[in-house]
Structure 1
Amino acid sequence: MFYRLSGVYQTNYAADRKLWKIPADRWQVIAVLVLALMAPLYVSPLYLGSYVLPWVIWSAAALSLTLLMGMAGQLHFGFAAVMAIGAYSSIHLVRAGIPFEIALILSGVVSAVIGTLFGGAALRVKGLYLVMATLAMQYLVDWVVVNVPWISGGAHATLRTPAVNFLVMPIDSLAARYWLALGWAVLITLFFLNVKRTSFGRALVAIRDKDFAAAVIGVDPFRTKLAAFFTSSFLGGVTGAILAFCYYRAVTPEQFGFNVSIQLVAMVLVGGLGSVIGSYLGAGFVLLAPIFLTNAISSLAAAGWVPVSQNFLSHLPLIIYGAMIIGFLLFEPLGLAKIYDNIRKYFLVWPFRHAKS
C-alpha cells in the first residue's frame, strides 16, 4: 500500500501539529523538491524558461495573496499593483548601488507600507466595498507608474533590470534565475505551512470566519487585518522583484495591469482558498491551461478536425478556459486542492472502504 496506513491516528497535540502527519507525505515533498532542484538538468531551456520558471514565480505570488484572501478572508483585486511597487522599487534600489539581497527586502518593505496604507483605509468596509477600495489602489498605482517619468520612464518606456549577484552568485543564466525563484517559492511555502500553526495564523482564521466573534475572544480585528495586509504585501513585493529580475528582465507598466490582478484572484480561487498545494495547482492551471488549449486546438484545426474561422479559433481556447473555471466553481467550489485531497484520502484507506454506520 502506498501510504502504509489505513487512517490517521493522532493521540497527542504534538503529533497532530506535525507538518507531515503521514511519513509518505514527507517523502513525497522531498521527492518533488529534488525534482524541482534538478529541473535545469533534464528540462530543456525553452520549457524551463517559458513554463516552469513562470509557474514557480506565480505560485509564490498566489501564496502571497492566499495569506490575505484564504486565511484572513480579505478580498484584494489590486495585488498586481503591490507586485509592481516591489518590481520598480527593486530596480531603482539596485541602480542606486544597494546590494540585490537588501534591495529585495527593501522592495518588500516599500510594498508592505503602501499596501498597508490602502489596507488600513479599507478595513472599515467589507465585501464589494473592500473590492472597490483595492481596485482604487490598482488604478492609482497604474496612474502613478505611467505618469511619473522617474519611476517608469513614461507610459511606453521599458525599464531594464541591471545585472546583479545574489550571495556572490551571478544571476545571469537561466538556471541561476530559476534556482533563485525556486528558493523564494520554497521559503514562502514553508512560511505559509508554519504560520497556520501559530497564534497569528489562528487569529487570521478567526477573523475570516467571524470578526465579531474573534473580537469577543480577545483578537483585535483591526491589528490582525493590518498585519495580514502588511505581511501579504511584503511577500507580494518581493515576489514582484523576483518576477522582474528572474523572468521579465525588463519591466513595463502593462505587465502589472488590472488583468494580472484578476488572474491572481483566479489562481487562488481555482486552486483552493487557504491551500498551499492549491496555490501551485491554481497557478499552473491559470498560467498553462490557455497555452495547452491553444496548441491543442491549433493542431486540430490544422488537421481539419475543427472547421471554424480563424477569428473564432483564436477565441475558442479562452471560451473553453472560462467554461472550465465555471465548472470548477459549480462542481468543486473548494478548487483543485479539494480534488487532490479527495484522491489522497482515497489512497489513504485503499484498498479498504470506509466503515458504514
Structure 2
Amino acid sequence: MIYREAGLYRSTYAADMAIFPLPLDRIAVGVVVVAAAGVIPFVASGYLLKGLLIPTLAYALAAIGLNILTGYAGQLSLGHAAFMAVGAYGAVIAYGRYGWPLLASFLVGGLAAAAVGAVVGLPSLRIKGFYLAVTTLAVQYIVEWGITHVRWIGGGVYATIDVPDLALLGVPLDTGPRKYLLCLATVVVLTVFAKNLVRTRVGRAWMAIRDRDVAAEIMGIGLLRYKMLAFVVSSFYAGVAGALISFCFYQAANIEEYTLTISIRVLGMIIIGGMGSILGSYLGAAFVVLLPIAISNAMVAVGRVSGGLVTTDVRANAELVIFGGLILFFLIVEPLGLARLWKTLKDYLRLWPFPY
C-alpha cells in the first residue's frame, strides 16, 4: 500500500522529470548508497571486497558504456575489451611512468579510449549491424597486437605493466576498503552522469537512431555526429572501467585480461541485464560475475556431501552447464533482461493487493 503514485502532486518540471519520482524509490536508493559506502567497507572481508565487489563494480561500469553504444544508440560492438585495454594501459602509463595524479590518470585512460572510439566510430555512418560488429572485432585484434608488439606501450612480449602503490591526495590506498571506496565513488559518479545523459536531447537522439536511423535523419538528427558521440562516450566508460580493473583488482595492466572473451562477457551482461537500461548493466554484471562463484561453491558443497562421487571434472562441467542453463532460462522467461523483470515486479507492487 505504500508503493503508490496516488496522492503525489507534482507542480514543477523538475519534479515531473525526477529520476526517482516515488518517495520509496528515493529512500531505497539512499539506503543502498549508505550501506555500500558506510557499512560494507567496514564489515566485509578482504575477499568479498577485492574478489567480488570491486570487479562487479568495474564490469558494471564497462557494461554501462556498452549499453550506451548498443542499448541506447543501437550500434553493435564486439571490441569493447579493446577500449578497456587502451584505458588500462593509458592510465597505468600516466600514473606509473609519468607520475600523474591518480584521478588524472583515470581521465587520461578514459580519453585515450575515447580517442580510439572516435576513430572506430567513423565507419558507423556507412556500415551498421553485423558489418559494424566485424569492424569492432577487427579493432579488438588490432589493439591486442599493438599493445603486445609496441614496446613503449606494453613493455615487451608479455605486455604486463605493474601498477605502483596507489595514493590519492597523499592518502595511500593500500587496503581493500580504500580501493573499494575509490571504485565505488568513480562508478557512482559516472552512473549518475550516464543516467542523466540518456534522458537529455542526446539520449533521445540515440534512441531515435536505434529505432530507425533513416527516420531520425529525416527528422534532422545528424547520424555521424551522434553515432560518433555514442562511440566516444562508450569508449570513455570502457577506458575508465579498464583502469579500475587494473588499479584496484589486478594491480597490473595485462593484455590477457582484455581479450575477445571479455568483450563477449560484457555483451552478455547487457543482454542478460537488459539493453537500454542503466540498472540492467548492474544486474547483468552481478549475474555474470557473482553467479558462477556461487555455483562453484555450491558444487564444492555437493562434492563434499556426495563423499567424492562427484569428481572435480564433473563439478567444473556442471558449473558451465548450470550457468548456461540459467542464462537461457532468464532469456526465455524475459527476453528484455533482468531489468524488465524488476520493472514488472514494481508495476505489480503499484497495484497490489488490488487486482486492477
Equivalent position to 2:271, from 269, 272, 284? 269
1:102-142 CA deviation, whole Å, 9 max, x = no partner?
22212211110111101212442111111110100101111
1:143-173 CA deviation, whole Å, 9 max, x = no partner?
1111222222233353110123223332222
Secondary structure of the equivalent of 2:24?
A: helix
Secondary structure of the equivalent of 1:351?
A: coil
Q: Could you say which residue in structure 1 is the equivalent of 2:287?
A: 285
The answer to whether the Cα contact below 8 Å between 2:4 and 2:22 also exists between their aligned partners in 1 is no
Q: Could you say which residue in structure 2 is the equivalent of 1:169?
A: 171
The answer to whether the Cα contact below 8 Å between 2:124 and 2:132 also exists between their aligned partners in 1 is yes
Secondary structure of the equivalent of 2:19?
A: coil
Q: Could you say which residue in structure 2 is the equivalent of 1:88?
A: 89
2:117 matched to 1:98? no
Q: What TM-score do you get using the length of structure 2 for normalisation?
A: 0.94
2:228 matched to 1:226? yes
Q: Could you say which residue in structure 2 is the equivalent of 1:18?
A: 18
**In structure 2, do the counterparts of structure 1 residues 150 and 14 end up closer, same or farther at CA, with 3 Å as the change threshold?**
closer
2:315 matched to 1:313? yes
Equivalent position to 2:116, from 114, 131, 148? 114
For residues 9 and 94 of structure 2, what CA distance do their matches in structure 1 show? 51
Report how far residue 79 of structure 1 moved.
Answer: 0.6
Secondary structure of the equivalent of 1:334?
A: coil
The answer to whether the Cα contact below 8 Å between 1:112 and 1:231 also exists between their aligned partners in 2 is yes
Report how far residue 229 of structure 1 moved.
Answer: 0.4
Report how far residue 42 of structure 1 moved.
Answer: 1.5
AA matched with 2:46: P
2:77 matched to 1:73? no
For residues 129 and 60 of structure 1, what CA distance do their matches in structure 2 show? 26
Per mean C-alpha deviation after superposition, the further-off stretch among 280-289 and 318-327 is 318-327
Report how far residue 11 of structure 1 moved.
Answer: 7.8
Secondary structure of the equivalent of 1:251?
A: strand
Q: Residues 101-180 of structure 1: matches in 2 within 5 Å? A: 101-180=103-182
The answer to whether the Cα contact below 8 Å between 1:300 and 1:306 also exists between their aligned partners in 2 is no
2:33 matched to 1:29? no
Q: Could you say which residue in structure 1 is the equivalent of 2:206?
A: 204
Q: Could you say which residue in structure 1 is the equivalent of 2:345?
A: 343
Equivalent position to 2:243, from 241, 244, 249? 241
Report how far residue 242 of structure 1 moved.
Answer: 1.6
Secondary structure of the equivalent of 1:352?
A: coil
2:324 matched to 1:322? yes
Q: What TM-score do you get using the length of structure 1 for normalisation?
A: 0.94
Q: Could you say which residue in structure 2 is the equivalent of 1:303?
A: 305
For residues 336 and 7 of structure 1, what CA distance do their matches in structure 2 show? 30
For residues 28 and 220 of structure 2, what CA distance do their matches in structure 1 show? 39
Per mean C-alpha deviation after superposition, the further-off stretch among 148-157 and 108-117 is 148-157
Report how far residue 328 of structure 1 moved.
Answer: 2.1
1:267-306 CA deviation, whole Å, 9 max, x = no partner?
1110001112111110000011111111101211221189
Report how far residue 8 of structure 1 moved.
Answer: 8.1
The answer to whether the Cα contact below 8 Å between 2:124 and 2:227 also exists between their aligned partners in 1 is no
The answer to whether the Cα contact below 8 Å between 1:6 and 1:348 also exists between their aligned partners in 2 is no
**In structure 2, do the counterparts of structure 1 residues 102 and 14 end up closer, same or farther at CA, with 3 Å as the change threshold?**
closer
Secondary structure of the equivalent of 1:159?
A: strand
Q: Structure 1: state its 5+ residue gaps.
A: none
The answer to whether the Cα contact below 8 Å between 2:147 and 2:159 also exists between their aligned partners in 1 is no
**In structure 2, do the counterparts of structure 1 residues 11 and 211 end up closer, same or farther at CA, with 3 Å as the change threshold?**
farther
Q: Could you say which residue in structure 1 is the equivalent of 2:56?
A: 55
For residues 235 and 298 of structure 1, what CA distance do their matches in structure 2 show? 36
Matched residue count: 354
Percent identity, aligned pairs only, is: 40
For residues 69 and 307 of structure 2, what CA distance do their matches in structure 1 show? 45
**In structure 2, do the counterparts of structure 1 residues 346 and 7 end up closer, same or farther at CA, with 3 Å as the change threshold?**
farther
Report how far residue 183 of structure 1 moved.
Answer: 0.7
Secondary structure of the equivalent of 1:163?
A: coil
The answer to whether the Cα contact below 8 Å between 2:163 and 2:246 also exists between their aligned partners in 1 is yes
Secondary structure of the equivalent of 1:184?
A: helix
For residues 306 and 209 of structure 1, what CA distance do their matches in structure 2 show? 54
**In structure 2, do the counterparts of structure 1 residues 104 and 344 end up closer, same or farther at CA, with 3 Å as the change threshold?**
same
Secondary structure of the equivalent of 1:197?
A: coil
Secondary structure of the equivalent of 1:56?
A: helix
AA matched with 2:149: N
AA matched with 1:273: M
**In structure 2, do the counterparts of structure 1 residues 20 and 305 end up closer, same or farther at CA, with 3 Å as the change threshold?**
farther
Report how far residue 308 of structure 1 moved.
Answer: 4.4
Q: Could you say which residue in structure 2 is the equivalent of 1:3?
A: 3
Q: Structure 2: state its 5+ residue gaps.
A: none
Q: Where has structure 1 moved over 3 Å in runs of 4 or more?
A: 4-16, 305-310
